[in-house]
Amino acid sequence: MSKAYVKKSKLLKATLGLKNIMGRHFLAIEQAIRDGTPTAWATSGTPVELLYAMDVQPMLPENSATISAARKYSQKFIELAEDQGFSYDLCSYFKTNIGAVESNVDVTIGGINKPTFMLSSDVICDTHVNWFQVQAERMNVPHFTIDVPHVVSNTNNRQYNYFKKYVAEQVWELLDFIQEVTGHEMNMERSKEVAKNSYDLSMVWQEIYELRKNIPCPISTKDTFGGLFPLFTMPGLKAPIKLYKRMYREAKARVDAGIGALEQENYRLMFEGIPFWYNLKYFAMLEKYGAIIVYEPYTYAFSKFMNPNVTKDMLLNKPIEAMSELMLSFWYIFDLKTRIQKFKETVDEWKIDGVLLHNNMSCRPNACGLYDLKRRLSDDYDIPCLIITSDMNDPRKMNETQVSNQIESFIEILHKRKKK
Amino acid sequence: MKKIAYFDAGIITPEEILIAADLVPIRLLGNPNIGIDKANEHIPPTHCVWARNILEQAIEGLDSDIKGVIVTHGCDCTNREFDIWLECVDLDFMFFLNAPLKRDKTSLKFFVKDIKELITQLEEHFNVNITNEKIIEAIKLMNKIRNLLKEISEYRSKMTLKGSEFHHIVKNVQQKDKKEALKMLEDKLEEIKTRTPFTDKNLKKIFLTGSVIDDTEFIKFLESLGYQIVQDDLCIGTRYFWINVDETEKPIKALAKYHLSKPIYSTKVPSQKRFDFVKELAAKYNVDGVVNIAQKFCEPILYDHPFMAKKFKELKNPIPYLFIEMEYNRESYKQLATRFEAFAEII
Ligand code: SF4
Ligand code: SF4
């Protein structure tokens, strides 16, 4: 790989294959609808693998909402939802979905078909549950929700154990629900295979992340922000594993050749939160300072296998219990104490110079604790942090000038620290 | 007497357990007269103001008799802010009660376990013994209180008791030693029975629903515009006393069942059932209209509002419905006057 290539385009060649993989996902949905195969809407954080294991085609409205934003349609859909009485302050993914469904638009701009049923959970946010409750009523489809207890900073082991049981019991109930609605039975062999694929997919993703520890970092958010989608929409399928392996190989070659995604890497950053899908150029702006984001909890989160108690063995022998336990511990729901600790460890391991925190006006659960996180990282560990207030899907809530100025000053701070 | 405070958006904390531990349960409520300053250093300003107001008070320091706090699973605010409380509130006993989202057998079993965990931690921390007998005794006491509140509540629709006075009574009960509360209610009921109905016959009869509404001045403000709250499904209202705990069942299970059977709040599933309860009571009490109030940024209520609006409109005999997003300060009430007056005119 020549340096000239890297200079021209920071994207991995493999990432170009993402379009194909996601295209396959949407084709599979189309085919399922045509054939009358059951389909389901699912929120992030739910065990999508089980849908694949029961031959139910998943559709992820959050994914569709990002497409609307990237294609600059989200504002229109959001405003349509607001016209129907949904508040300016509600999650913009939800409102994008309301508007997109209402307008009956094509999948290429975030449209999504009516499913056979909906699957949500409150593991990440209440919005997921409220969103599907609202849409299940409007579209007249059944809805199942999994209640996941909140592991807080002082939850003890005894509690954790009955939390696990509670989630697992509901997942078993989910299987009954799916059978009742679709007539499909759970096939344990298929479920193991799906679980194994999901595990392998996650592991390659984690290996890619390991490569990002290198200086210079071989991969930027151009690869990861989009690259996360198969993890989220197709966990359990084989196809994305190949793509991730290609991404890995290419990144590894860059590492071996001492080449980074940026021609000159001056600052290594971490980005917490969901990116501004309607304005990804903001992340490219960092490059002019030689700043590269080398870690995003958001894109790492969906590699879900972060809990050391959930081994591959457990996954293969007790897939339901394993999937249930995974719902209790991953990046997006870490309690504040663990979150602070994990940030500190990540900053050390990935040799990060500064942390950007997205105070997302749509996502109160994620924004909650951000101020304390910032304070603790700066006061206790001397890690520079910057909070940016905006929204992932609603361009009206992004103040470009303000954000640019903030980033510029932040880079200035990092620059001074480097000089010391 | 040692007190224990609870921060609970949906009033699902089993007070009986605390009473059985010889602790006085105190519900934490907002104070619209204070500015929010310290809490804003922990929580962004676009998050529920009511929850930030309570955190502000807790950081400033609660009553010195308050020896601990329970935060009960409600919305994303109560759930996620608990960790922040652990960071910045100086109390030894802090417990997050995971009141379940759903209302079925599995959730009931889980809730029983979680209440048992609360009991274990209270026993260890306060060195007390929470026996079944003591819980049963507390249930009986609370049932009496609930019955009295229900009886007193009826005087609102008999146009004898102002909605604001009733609101104040319920609030008082939630923040008082329950034996004293019982006595207070008994006396009150006797006194109310001697009253004569209001002379003003033109009052608009309203059903009030929505987020937690804890400022009695707000109810008085509505009354100043010619409204009388005859019924509600608020947590400082009927949701606190509408049904009773079964005294014949095993006490912990009975408590868990009680909380999963009472009128549902928007933080729980299926929250759309809230409409059924409001509709039924609105019809029964023959109200002129339903007013649904969302505290600014209160997501659970904001998600449910368009559904409620549609349902009230679709009824065979549609019930006029007004939805208001409200700021948590008294100055802002005045700005709402025009909308309330306009609503009063059409109903
Ligand atoms: S952005 Fe936040 S609130 Fe909205 S769906 Fe995602 S996790 Fe939930
Ligand atoms: S008012 Fe609404 S947002 Fe605030 S704590 Fe209560 S339920 Fe949550």
B69 CB within 6 A, ligand 2: no
| Banded model confidence at residue A284, pLDDT cuts 50, 70, 90 | confident
Q: Is the CB of B30 under 6 A from ligand 2?
A: no
Q: How is residue A194 written in tokens?
A: 């799906």
Of A44, A38, A89, nearest to A66 by C-alpha is: A44
A361 touches chain B (CB under 8 A): yes
Dihedral sign computed on CA atoms, order B85, B86, B88, B91: positive
Find where tokens 């960092």 sit: A286
pLDDT at A214: 98
Query: What average pLDDT does range A107-116 have in this prediction?
Result: 97
Q: Does B307 lie at the interface with A, CB-CB under 8 angstroms?
A: yes
pLDDT above 70 covers a percentage of chain A that reads 98
Token pair belonging to A357: 């925190």
Is residue B22 predicted with pLDDT exceeding 60? yes
Q: What is the pLDDT of residues A181-240, one digit of tens each?
A: 999 999 989 999 999 999 999 999 999 999 999 999 999 999 999 999 999 999 999 999
d(CA B239, ligand 1 centre) in Å: 29
pLDDT at B347 over 50: yes
Task: Give the pLDDT band of residue B25 (cuts 50, 70, 90).
Answer: very high
Closest residue on chain A to B51 (Cα):
A368
Which residues 6+ apart lie within 8 Å of B245 measured at CB? B16, B139, B142, B143, B254, B255, B257, B258
Q: Which of B42, B48, B71, B80 to mutate to test the interface with A (most CBs of A within 10 A)?
A: B80
Q: Given a cut of 90, is residue A306 above it in pLDDT? A: no
B80 lies within 8 A of chain A by CB: yes
pLDDT of residue A323: 92
Task: List Cα–Cα distances, B22 to A16, A285, B12, in angstroms.
Answer: 66, 61, 19
Q: What is the distance in angstroms between the Cα of A251 and the nearest Cα belonging to chain B?
A: 37
Task: Give yes or no for residue A304 CB within 6 A of ligand 1.
Answer: no
Q: What are the structural domains, with CATH classification, of chain B?
A: 3-131 (3.40.50.11890)
pLDDT at A14: 93
DSSP state of A17: G
Give the ipTM of the model, two decimals please. Answer: 0.97
Which chain B residues are Cβ-neighbours of A365 within 8 angstroms? 76, 79-80
**What b/e sequence results for B146-179 when a residue is b if at least 16 CB atoms lie within 10 Å of its CB, and e otherwise?**
bebbeebbebbbebebbbbbbbebbbbbbbbebe
Confidence of residue A8 (pLDDT cuts 50, 70, 90): very low
- How far is Cα B125 from Cα A84, in angstroms, rounded to an integer? 50
Q: What is the Å distance from ligand 2's center to B268 Cα?
A: 12
Q: List, as ranges, residues 83-112 from A with C-beta within 8 Å of B.
A: 84-87, 89-91
User: How high is the pLDDT of residue A305?
Assistant: 87
Judge: B43–A368 Cβ closer than 8 Å, yes or no: yes
Cα gap A323→A300, rounded to integer Å:
17
Q: Is the CB of A91 under 6 A from ligand 1?
A: yes
pLDDT for A304 equals 84
Q: Which of B55, B73, B84, B212 to mutate to test the pocket of ligand 2 (most atoms within 8 A of CB)?
A: B212
Distance from CA of B147 to the nearest CA of A (A): 32
For the residues A260-272, what does the mean pLDDT come to?
Answer: 96
Among B341, B345, B347, B303, smallest CA distance to B210 is for B303
pLDDT in tens, A333-358: 999 999 999 999 999 999 999 999 99
With bands split at pLDDT 50, 70 and 90, how would you rate the model's confidence at A282?
Answer: confident
What digits encode the pLDDT tens for the residues A12-37? 999 999 999 999 999 999 999 999 99
Work out the pLDDT band at B102, boundaries 50, 70, 90: very high
Looking at beta carbons, which residues of chain A come within 8 Å of B77? 364, 368
Is B87's CB within 8 Å of A169's CB?
no
User: What is the per-residue pLDDT for A117?
Assistant: 98
Q: Residue A1: which pLDDT band, with cuts at 50, 70 and 90?
A: very low
**Contact criterion met (CB below 8 Å) for B44 and A370:** yes
Task: Describe the strand order of the beta sheet including B289-295 as a list of residue ranges.
Answer: B227-232, B204-210, B289-295, B321-326
Tell me if B297 and A364 make a contact (CB, 8 A cut-off): yes
B210-250 pLDDT per residue, tens: 999 999 999 999 999 999 999 999 999 999 999 999 999 99
pLDDT at B312: 97
Note whether A372 contacts B98, CB cutoff 8 Å. Answer: no
Given a cut of 70, is residue B313 above it in pLDDT? yes
- Residue A420's pLDDT is 78
pLDDT band at B169 (very low <50, low <70, confident <90, very high): very high
Using a 6 Å cutoff on CB, does residue A124 contact ligand 1? yes
Mean pLDDT of B71-87: 96
Domains located in chain A, CATH noted: 16-185 (3.40.50.11890)
